[in-house]
Amino acid sequence: METMMNGVRDAVFLPRHPRAAAEARRVLARVAPDGRGDSGTARLLLSEVVSNAVRYARGEEIQVVISFDGTTGAITGAVFDGEPVLGAGTCPRRRREREQLAESGRGFDLLDMLAETWGVATVGGAGKWVWFCVPSGEEEA
pLDDT of residue 99: 53
DSSP letter string, 76-96: EEEEEES--SPPTT--HHHHH
Query: Closest Cα to residue 86, out of 119, 47, 132, 112?
Result: 119
Would you say residue 105 lies in a domain? yes
What pLDDT, in 10s, does the model give residues 91-114? 544 445 545 554 555 678 899 999
DSSP structure class, residue 138: P
How many domains, in total, are found in the chain? Answer: 1
51 CB-near residues (< 8 Å, 6+ apart): 20, 21, 107
Would you say residue 139 lies in a domain? no
Would you say residue 140 lies in a domain? no
Q: What percent of the chain has pLDDT over 90?
A: 56
pLDDT of residue 140: 43
Structural domain for 126, as ranges: 2-134
Which run of H or of E encompasses 68? strand 61-69
Would you say residue 15 lies in a domain? yes
What pLDDT, in 10s, does the model give residues 81-97? 999 887 644 454 444 55
Query: Hey, which residues does 48 pair with through a beta bridge?
Result: none
* CATH number of residue 64's parent domain: 3.30.565.10
pLDDT of residue 70: 87
Alpha-carbon radius of gyration of the chain: 15
